[in-house]
Amino acid sequence: MSLPLHLSKAIASASIASALVFAACGGGSTPTAPTPVPSASTTPCAASGTQQVNVQTESFKFTPKDFNFKCGSSVTFALVSKDIGHNFTANDLGIAWDIGSKASMQTFTFTRSGTFRLVCTIAGHEAAGMVGKITITP
């Protein structure tokens, strides 16, 4: 038993179309590697000046909350807590400073450039908005 001519032509056309689609989808091309995402990597730097920065902690915020320094600089932070105990933490810079509910001073030397997260890690303080950043430029 043979198929009617119009049905045979339809099957042949569908077979050719399928072959062309599969040939177009098949490779031969080399896959492209994904573009690397720039990391928050840091660049080492040489020593430069010293400065003092006054910071208040109150009502679940740092004032000021964002800091910009030159790489290699030594910065003395003079922190005053106006209410309850807080801390001043930038883990990627090795800063973990419990200032309690008083005034305190500490000096840090920034030896690499980048932007670093600043936070009070006491339970609930970060969620209440006690965050900032420290940016170190080359």
Which tokens sit at 48?
């430069």
The number of domains in the chain is 1
pLDDT score of 106: 93
pLDDT score of 2: 54
Q: Give domain status of residue 78, yes or no.
A: yes
Residue for token pair 């910009």: 68
Q: Give domain status of residue 19, yes or no.
A: no
pLDDT score of 4: 52
Per-residue pLDDT of the chain (138 residues; tens, 9 = 90+): 554 544 445 454 545 544 444 444 444 444 444 433 333 445 567 667 789 999 999 889 999 999 999 999 999 999 998 888 899 999 999 999 888 778 889 999 999 999 999 999 999 999 999 999 999 999
pLDDT score of 17: 47
C-alpha 80/C-alpha 99 separation (Å) is 8
Burial of 112 (0-12, 13-18, 19+ CB in 10 A): middle
Q: Give domain status of residue 33, yes or no.
A: no
Q: Give domain status of residue 15, yes or no.
A: no
Q: Give domain status of residue 25, yes or no.
A: no
Are the CB atoms for 41 and 114 separated by under 8 Å?
yes
Q: Give domain status of residue 96, yes or no.
A: yes
pLDDT score of 50: 84
pLDDT score of 16: 52
Residue for token pair 């009617």: 4
pLDDT score of 29: 44
C-alpha 100/C-alpha 84 separation (Å) is 7
pLDDT score of 7: 43
Q: Give domain status of residue 48, yes or no.
A: yes
* CATH number of the domain residue 72 falls in: 2.60.40.420
Domain that holds residue 97: 43-137
Q: Give domain status of residue 121, yes or no.
A: yes
